[in-house]
């Protein structure tokens, strides 16, 4: 998976299996892991690797840029990622950029959040909600 450094914006490739480890940016040595912000998935391969190999539950937000409710839930997911860093990985899939993944999971409305545990879909919820409701709904 590609993790962008929050300090210098350099992309760093890290195996999903290390998602709970502590890792630093190759360029500036800024903190990369554990993830304290949502991870934007840009390829089908990155999505599959993350869901399959992540050592923690993965909460995936299926969204699109043009969707107002998606933009409303984005800062709420930032809060969840920051509060649960190391316990859950929050990821984002742009349904316009990765329509094959959206089709595979039969995403019919956005935002839709799916929680994956051990590589399998455990729960799903559609619609925007505050961070507290997201944590309660998915027991995070």
Domains of the chain and CATH, by start:
35-137 (3.40.30.10)
- DSSP run (H or E) holding 78: helix 68-83
Angle at 111 between CA 7 and CA 105, to 5 degrees: 105
Mean pLDDT across 55-59: 96
Residue 61 in tokens: 């937000």
What does the pLDDT average to over 9-27? 90
- Give the closest residue to 12 by CA, choosing from 23, 81, 94: 23
* Whether pLDDT at 20 is above 90: no
For 118-128, how does the pLDDT look when each residue is reduced to its tens digit (9 = 90+)?
999 999 999 99
Does 10 have pLDDT greater than 90?
A: yes
Catalytic residues: 67, 70
pTM equals 0.92
């Amino acid at each position: 998976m590609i993790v962008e450094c929050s300090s210098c914006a350099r992309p760093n490739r890290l195996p999903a299996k290390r998602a709970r480890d502590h890792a630093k940016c190759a360029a500036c040595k800024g903190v990369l892991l554990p993830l304290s912000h949502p991870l934007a998935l840009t390829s089908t391969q990155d999505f599959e690797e993350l869901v399959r190999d992540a050592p923690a539950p993965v909460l995936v937000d299926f969204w699109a840029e043009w969707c107002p409710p998606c933009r409303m839930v984005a800062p709420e997911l930032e809060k969840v990622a920051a509060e649960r860093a190391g316990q859950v990985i929050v990821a984002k899939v742009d349904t316009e950029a990765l329509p094959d993944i959206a089709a595979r999971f039969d995403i019919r409305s956005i935002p839709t959040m799916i929680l994956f545990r051990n590589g399998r879909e455990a729960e799903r919820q559609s619609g925007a909600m505050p961070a507290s409701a997201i944590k309660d709904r998915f027991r995070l």
